[in-house]
Amino acid sequence: MPELPEVETTVRGLRKKVLKRTFVDVWTDFSKMIKKPKSFNLFKKEIKGRKIEKVWRRGKNILFDISGDKTLLIHQKLSGHLLFGKWKKQNNNWQAPPGSLSNRVNSFIHLLFVFKKGQMLALSDLRKFAKVELWNSAQFLKSEQFKKLGPEPLKKDFTFKKFKQVLQNRKGRVKSVLMNQEVIVGIGNLYSDEILFYSKVHPLKRTSELKEAELKKIYLGIKKILTKAIKFQGDSFSDYRKVTGEKGGFHERVKVYRKTGQKCSRCNTAIQRIKVGGRSAHYCPKCQKL
């Protein structure tokens, strides 16, 4: 699933492509991904003619503030990614021009917004788990799903003191707690592995057992790893691609994620994989002792 660096990279790419553009049409072959309103016809009617005024991110949600005080929310979920370009319909399939957009991973088009002059914003989603909602902006900001999200880890007000506060009443394994979007937003399976490797903390360690020095190291790891991943425009181990259809570059720089059996870059011990709360965790048993 795209995590904070991938979503942030997408948002930055979209700002360059879709700001001030007006929706003239929308198409889907899988209306179930439209969660609000329930009717695709109503969704289409509501969005046509509206202009994109702002593109921003909250956690893993991509948000478009559009004219008429509406907010379009797209959560890419497991395999979704947004692409900008032009497609043509051929034999009931959308065909991209030659280049990165035509790569197979970008070919699972299930939602497509059309702008003036034929430019398009497409959602490619192999597994079709993505979620799309159209809200009244004021209602969205007051909604439970928005208010329950944890702090943004790269904001200046996310201090070490605040980090300790959000962990204070959270019990459980540190990897699972870091991935809880009500504790801190944007961190998932990949970046929790990388942050804990940087911090030399075992993923099964309980948050209540973390020492001050370990907490500080995890906090610094969050800031450093997420910032670096944004610099390299996200991780493309799986389906994620930039809005241009190209891969991000962070997958070439991971230390432990999906490296089971390979040598640790610090001590040459073989990386191991275990389950934590039903999710995979990759770690070095020598550097990250329990």
Choose the catalytic residue: 86, 279, 285, 286.
279
211 classed as catalytic: no
Predicted pLDDT at 117:
87
Q: Report yes or no on 231 lying in a domain.
A: yes
Predicted pLDDT at 169:
81
* Percent of the chain surpassing pLDDT 70: 100
**Mean pLDDT calculated for residue range 31-55:** 97
Residues 128 and 182 in one domain: no
Any residues with CB less than 8 A from the CB of 85 and at least 6 apart, and which? 96, 97, 101, 119, 120, 122, 244, 245
151 classed as catalytic: no
Kindly list the distances between the CA atom of residue 245 and the CA atoms of 13, 186, 270, in Å, as whole numbers in the listed order: 11, 22, 34
Nearest to 111 by CA among 146, 140, 73: 73
* Helix pair angle (212-231, 189-199), 10° resolution: 130
Mean pLDDT across the chain: 97
Range(s) of the domain holding residue 269: 160-283
Residues 106 and 174 in one domain: no
Residues 8 and 141 in one domain: yes
Predicted confidence band of residue 233 (pLDDT cuts 50, 70, 90): very high
Residues 22 and 94 in one domain: yes
Choose the catalytic residue: 60, 241, 242, 255.
60
48 classed as catalytic: no
| Its pTM surpasses 0.85 | yes
279 classed as catalytic: yes
| Residue 221's CATH number | 1.10.8.50
Q: Report yes or no on 128 lying in a domain.
A: yes
Choose the catalytic residue: 3, 8, 46, 133.
3
Residues 212 and 242 in one domain: yes
Cis peptide upstream of residue 37 (ω within 30 degrees of 0):
yes
| Residue 133's CATH number | 3.20.190.10
**Mean pLDDT calculated for residue range 151-169:** 95
Q: How many domains does the chain have?
A: 2
Q: Which residue has the higher pLDDT, 169 or 184?
A: 184
Choose the catalytic residue: 2, 5, 151, 153.
2
**Mean pLDDT calculated for residue range 247-262:** 97
Predicted confidence band of residue 92 (pLDDT cuts 50, 70, 90): confident
Q: Report yes or no on 260 lying in a domain.
A: yes
Predicted confidence band of residue 1 (pLDDT cuts 50, 70, 90): confident
